[in-house]
Chain A
Amino acid sequence: MSGFRLKAAETGGKALHFTFDGKSFVGREGDTLASALMANGVSIVGRSFKYHRPRGIFTAGSEEPSALVTLRSGGRHEPNVRATEIELYEGLEARSQNRWPSVRFDLMAVNQLAGKAFSAGFYYKTFMGPRRAGHKATQFWYFCEQFIRRAAGLGKGATSADPDTYSRMNAWCDVLVIGAGAAGIAAAGRAASAGARVIMCDERARGGGSLTGAPELLDGQPAAEWASDAMEELAELDNVTILTRTTVQSMFDGDTYLAVERVNDHRDEPKRHQPRQRAWTIRAASTVIATGAIERPIVFAGNDRPGVMLADAARRYAVEYGVAPGRAVAVFTNNDTGWLAARDMARAGVIVSAIVDVRADVQDDVRKAGEESRAEIFLGAAITGTRGWQELQGAHVRDFHEVSNTLGGKKRFIGCDCIAVSGGWSPAFHLTSQQGGKPQWDAELQAFLPGEASANWFGAGAMAGKFGLRNAFRTGEEAAVRALTQAGFGEGESSVPVIEGDAIDYAPAPVLEINSPGKSFVDLQHDVTADDVRLAHREGFVSVEHLKRYTTLGMATDQGKTSNVTGLAIMAQTRDMSIPEVGTTRFRPPYTPVALATLAGEQYGHLSTVRRTPMHDWHVANGAHMYANGPWLRPESYNAPGETVEQAYIREARKVRESVGLVDVSTLGKIDVQGPDAAEFLNRIYSNGFAKLPVGKARYGLMLREDGFLFDDGTTWRLDEHRFLMTTTTAGAGHVMEHLEYHRDVVWPDLKVALTSVSDEWAGVAVAGPKSRQVLAACVTKCDVSNEALPFMGVRTGEIVGIPVWIARLSFSGEMAYEVYCGANWGQALWDALMAAGEKHDIVPYGLEALSTLRIEKGHVAGPELNGRTTPGDLGLQGMVSSKKNFVGAVLNNRPAMQAEDRLQLVAIRSIDGQRIIGGSHLVKGTKDEPGLSEGHTTSTCFSPALNAYISLALLERGRARFGEKMYATNPVRDSHVAVEVINPHMVDPKGARMHG
């Protein structure tokens, strides 16, 4: 193929410079990359997936299987972009893919010489075997993989971060119109006239669809002009939103659609402050789908040579872009539209050398169009092969008998550098298929139609099998009326234009493959040939689903938009069945590939969900490395210059045991539980008793799931007779809230209990250490903090620097400790006041690591032990499971297996020889090389300053009976095998004298 810019189109349009594989070219405004390459005579734009055969431009739209390129470079590098879709812009930079060293000379093309070896099922036959040592096929795969990965594939992903942003948008409408062609415009106009909120989407830069290059006159106006006026009129209406460059990718349940707007893909860089793409979630009351139809080829030998393309695409390049697809174009068709394409190309100045039609005869109008094109006419004939090496030089034509599907007569040669082929039209019902709409075969149109509506959508125009402009306008309005009724509107007003132009028959002859020697490609992107389909049949893969997976037909990035029906036709013929009997596969969302960045939208980096405590900035300013704990950011440790995290947390933990420290506990879940039945409610939820908790006291509580496993823990404070403050684990807050609400609403609707999350209302600071009482005494007013007035588990109100506070004497560390809560907006002021009051005791802020170290030393459980598989008994908390009352989870917690003695039980282990215990280690008896079976595993690991050893909490079979036993903590993945002793988990102050003091 050697395309060129047509004379009539040479002037007009701004020149745009671009490069392809480093070579500079000039295109012009309004071009796609494909039309610009074609205008510059570039015929080979890529290499195929498997055989590395040269590939050219096959279509003029999003259905393109062949012309995939890599766009831009650096962080904006984007592989597998369809050259037929990307609009040309100044400075565009594109590269061909899957070739080495160059697209014209590709060493990997030797693959095609071994074509027989790479036939369907090649991978399965050559490499797949049972996964066991010594199996040859699988071993062979490991050996070959690196070479195959290089040989097969598409473009490569970017290696640096994308500098652009992506946005999202939510939209609601009464009538969504998908496709702004004739049917879409008719539907949108009608729907808008009834006052409905209308959104119309179209994947191209401008609406109009097939009107853009249609030869018809509408209301006496050229179709393209009429369309452009109609779009403008619609855009001016308040109740209409038009989204161009917007592909509706997916149809979901409940009339919800995902559309991707390419806001800035037609520019080198997005306009400042704009996203590159925007993902629209559109929720429609009803929808008109007017997505048109996709032309499909007739398959023949040598049909993948660059220069072979779809007839309507060739026509559009000539008529819409002013580019001749070749010096001499041969049209090969089984239907009338190929003839009109020939005529329209000739009118635009393209030389059409031949029209080859498999049908023996055509109607007069069509014949007249052929005459106008001045092409040589071959009726009852077929193209049986192509000639040329990299570029098409001509085609062989033989007589063809349509009914018997046989070739005859002499082989004739026609010179051409472009074959424009039309095998008829397949309605683009991909969206309805995604929702499970079962396509119906129409024997006359030789096409699947969308079938019955499975949701509130109505098909219009070619998508519904209603071809031609008159049908498009009529069915567009009809669909709009049905959609309006569905959405609860009146019928609106009709405004169909008067149409002058061709009236043709869109039904093709049922011929989709010319069976002659040579490779005939069905799926151009995945290199699936007609013989591969027959091979699949011979080997027993006859169902369409098996055919698809065995040959990979239709599994490429284009999802077989131009190849599915042809593949089915070949399988049907091979099985001697009809196409509907063979069936069809379901299209999957999205319609075209969607970038992950587009789906992520703005929800990443600093825009992702992060919760900060009121003291966040102080932590950061004081050397804390912030650590994600669920959505919360918490200080890991406060590192002095040059200090490691381990050095810092050991220093902090030691200071707490010696003197005093403070830690931000604002992240704990906090739930306000109020009402006359609040105590009863808590008593049913917790495994231990809460009914008799006195006012001014806190209690540690355990919650079980209904299956009897541990769910969450925390302290709950009785603030007054009918009011409690429940605290939960940081990570469990949301789940606990839902658990409580569920029981209140569904299980015990008669209880008067109000539940409100107050996690954000209260800032919390824990002050821990032997000097903690002195620190409080120095700053608290209106509250006596003496041991008598505020005993262990006591809760009181007071003030600190005038700020009203709740003070609860609780201890997670095992030291004397207090939790102080105040309104979140005062959190920093409270922190500052406590720091100042602790100054003379050398108070230290401590982070999550020290907090963990202290509670591990004390043997207190937390998230790693409450892992969803442990029971209170496992963790030594059986005493907190009341046998005197009924509560959620009690019955199933009593099952024998839940109470069995051989369960994993909480213990601690201590490293014997000073080696570090690695998190995630298993407890075993054997050596490093032969460790033996796992008898348990570590859960929370740290260095203990109190014991001066690496320690860990662990879950061990019959663990409580094994204190003193020597074992190994083994972690083969991290090459660690540490001798340990099993010890009682209450390692520091087991009697609790320090916290009660």
Chain B
Amino acid sequence: MKITCPYCGERDHREFTYRGDATAIRPSIDNTSLDDHQAFVYDRKNTAGTHRELWNHTSGCRTHVVVVRDTVSHEIFSCEPVGPFAKQLARNVAKLKGAGA
């Protein structure tokens, strides 16, 4: 499998560390809802097909990237820097039930 790091270019996937489902919404540490945290840590989908996920280019520039990958064929559709995505994620985090608590 090859991943095209936005900074380093096309590299072997062994240079990257998988950091999990990018669509799972991690509650903020200020959110004290047990349900929200429980859902984030334990209730994960096991998607067969197109999946948005986080990787860290640990043996390269060490930046995080958002990869869209088919978990069945392992085809990679895109690989973007995490920055803009993290901002989007922050908006979703704010929408969680326990976020206002």
Contact = CB atoms under 8 A, between A and B. Distances in A.
Chain B CB within 10 Å, residue with most, of A255, A281, A749: A749
A684 B29 contact: yes
A252 B41 contact: no
B58 A749 contact: no
B34 A254 contact: no
Contacts of A684: 29
A886 B98 CA distance: 14
A549 interface: no
B86 interface: yes
Contacts of B41: 706-707, 892
Contacts of A891: 27, 31-34, 37
Given A454-B73, A707-B41, A746-B82, A890 B29 contact: yes
Given A254-B74, A256-B1, A886-B29, A749 B83 contact: yes
Contacts of A894: 34
A254 B30 contact: no
Interface in A865-920: 886-888, 890-892, 894-895
A254 B11 CA distance: 11
A890 B90 CA distance: 19
Interface string B65-90: 00000000111100000110011011
Interface string A298-323: 00000000000000000000000000
A254 B2 contact: yes
Contacts of B73: 253, 436, 454
Contacts of A886: 29-30, 32
Given A252-B1, A741-B56, A895-B34, A749 B86 contact: yes
Nearest to B73: A454
B29 A746 contact: no
B62 interface: yes
B48 to A, nearest CB: 14
Contacts of B86: 745-747, 749
B38 interface: yes
Interface string A183-225: 0000000000000000000000000000000000000000000
B2 A746 contact: no
B26 A742 contact: no
Contacts of B54: 742, 746
Given A253-B1, A254-B1, A707-B41, A738 B58 contact: yes
**B contact patch SS:** mixed
Nearest to B38: A892
Interface string A249-266: 000111110000000000
A53 interface: no
A285 to B, nearest CB: 10
Interface residues of A, number: 27
Contacts of B92: none
Interface in B53-67: 54, 56, 58, 62-64
B59 to A, nearest CB: 11
A252 B38 CA distance: 36
A887 B74 contact: no
B23 interface: no
Interface string B19-58: 1000000110111111001101100000000000010101
Interface string A721-747: 000000000000000001001100111
A436 B75 CA distance: 13
A895 B76 CA distance: 38
Contacts of A890: 29, 32
Given A283-B12, A891-B33, A745 B2 contact: no
Given A745-B64, A745-B82, A892 B37 contact: yes
Contacts of B1: 252-254, 256
Nearest to B86: A749
A283 B88 CA distance: 34
Contact of B26 (A253, A707, A747, A887): A747
A252 B12 CA distance: 12
Contacts of A707: 41
A747 B29 CA distance: 10
Interface in A678-700: 684
A165 B71 CA distance: 37
A746 B56 CA distance: 10
B51 to A, nearest CB: 14
Contacts of A256: 1-2, 12
A732 to B, nearest CB: 15
A109 B65 CA distance: 62
Contacts of B26: 706, 747
A604 to B, nearest CB: 18
A107 to B, nearest CB: 50
Contacts of A738: 17, 19, 56, 58
A144 to B, nearest CB: 43
B37 A887 contact: no
A890 B83 CA distance: 26
A69 B73 CA distance: 39
A706 B31 CA distance: 13
A590 B5 CA distance: 29
Contacts of B87: 749
Contacts of A454: 73
Contact of A742 (B12, B40, B64, B89): B64
Nearest to B69: A253
B62 A741 contact: yes
Nearest to B34: A891
B2 A888 contact: no
Interface in A735-769: 738, 741-742, 745-747, 749
A754 to B, nearest CB: 11
Nearest to A172: B10
Contacts of A745: 56, 63-64, 82-83, 86
Nearest to B14: A281
A882 to B, nearest CB: 12
A180 to B, nearest CB: 26
A283 B34 contact: no
18 contacts: A254-B76, A256-B12, A706-B37, A738-B17, A741-B56, A741-B64, A745-B63, A745-B86, A746-B64, A746-B86, A746-B89, A749-B83, A886-B29, A887-B29, A888-B29, A891-B33, A891-B37, A892-B41
Closest 10 interchain pairs by CB? A253-B74, A254-B2, A886-B29, A749-B86, A253-B1, A745-B64, A891-B37, A254-B1, A707-B41, A886-B30
Interface of A: 252-256, 281, 283, 436, 454, 684, 706-707, 738, 741-742, 745-747, 749, 886-888, 890-892, 894-895
Given A707-B41, A894-B34, 7 more contacts: A253-B75, A706-B26, A745-B56, A886-B30, A888-B29, A890-B29, A891-B33
